[in-house]
Structures are given as C-alpha cells and as structure tokens.
Amino acid sequence: MVAVVSKMHLGSTFENDIKELDPRKAYKYSGIEEGFDIEHKNEKEKLKKEYLRRLRLVLGTELSAKNKIQATGSLAVLALRYSFGIINWHQKELQKLDWKTRKLLTIHGQHHPKADVDHMYVPRKQGGRGLMQLEAAHAIEITNLVEYVDRKEDPLIQVVRTNQHNTNSTVLQTARCLKSEVQKETRKLKDGIAEKKT
C-alpha cells in the first residue's frame, strides 16, 4: 500500500509566495499580456503573426479546399476571435488581414485572383466557400459579449454592466452599431447572390 503524503512548505506566507508586480513588467492572463494596462499595439502584432502562421500551416497541408476553409475558420480565425472584446481592433486592420488571407489563399491555389471576393464569405449551404470574414467574426463576438452582459443576472456581471453604463463604454456602442451593420450587410449579400443566380 502506497501512502500519499502532501508536503507543506512550513513558514510559507502569501507575502513570500506572491510578489507585487513591477509597473514596467507584465503578466500573462488568458493568453494576453497585461500589466497596469494592456499593450494593444504589441498584442495585435503578436495575434496577427499567430493568425498568419496558423493560416500558412493550414494552407500548406494536403487537405481538400473545403477542409482547408473549415480548418482556417476553426484554427486560424480562432487565434484572433478570442481577443475580440479585449483588444481594440479597428475595421481597417481587420480588412487588411482579410486581404492578406485572400492573398495567401491565391498564392496557395485556393482562390483565383479574378474570382468574386464576396463568394468567399458566403456560407457553403448557400453556394459560397464558407470562409469566416474577420470583420463579421469581430462583430459577432462583440455583440455576443454585450448581450451576455446585458441578460446575465450574476451579481459580478451586474457590477460590470453598471460600470459600462457609467463610463460610456465603447464596447457597448460598438456592439450596437455593429449589430445593425451586420444585419444590413447580410441582407445585401443575400440580395447580391440572389441577383447573380438569376
């Protein structure tokens, strides 16, 4: 019979184990380096590099075109999607990353240079390629985050809600604007596809 013995470090106190953070240093929490403030510019660069690295890895495989698009959505886009709502992303940055994505798809023979761009982002069930557009993913994540905060009754979430309302949170404003824009763009895409089929 083997006895499991737990070892306690005698004389250990929180003061000895947990050290105060130096103002110039950062710690990593949920994959994002934080200090007294989040370094948005540095974090964006790291996330962009990781996204493009994952995208190149997926495109370098011998998967079928359909599976490459699905893997891009589940592996590469996920690297950025987690940061939406934490890191301040601008639409131009996401548009540029979408452009780089299409460029890499073209280089790897997955997209013709003169092919319709909108066709890439239409779901497969509707006759498109099913690629996740980064702007749309950003809008979805932000609106889901705000809807979660608005409907949750947890006491800590209520504190977050009141703090957001008191500070003119840009996340709330962005989410509401994005939600209406996404609905308009979705209608335009559907109308455009319907016109092309006829």
pLDDT, tens digit, 9 for 90 and up, residues 124-138: 898 888 899 998 898
pLDDT band at 32 (very low <50, low <70, confident <90, very high): low
Cα first-last separation, the chain = 77
CB atoms near residue 48 (< 10 Å)? 16
Three-state DSSP class for residue 28: strand
Task: Evaluate whether residue 22 is within a structural domain.
Answer: no
**81: enclosing H helix or E strand:** helix 77-81
Task: Evaluate whether residue 151 is within a structural domain.
Answer: yes
Task: Evaluate whether residue 87 is within a structural domain.
Answer: yes
Give the range of the structural domain holding residue 115, as residue numbers without chain letter: 27-197
Task: Evaluate whether residue 33 is within a structural domain.
Answer: yes
Q: Is the dihedral of CA 8, 10, 15, 17 positive or negative?
A: negative
| pTM of the complete model | 0.68
pLDDT for res 164: 64
Closest by Cα among 110, 123, 95 to 56:
110
For the chain, the domain total comes to: 1
CB atoms near residue 24 (< 10 Å)? 7
The CA-based angle 175-75-115, given to 5 degrees, is 80
pLDDT band at 5 (very low <50, low <70, confident <90, very high): very low
What radius of gyration do the chain's Cα atoms show? 22
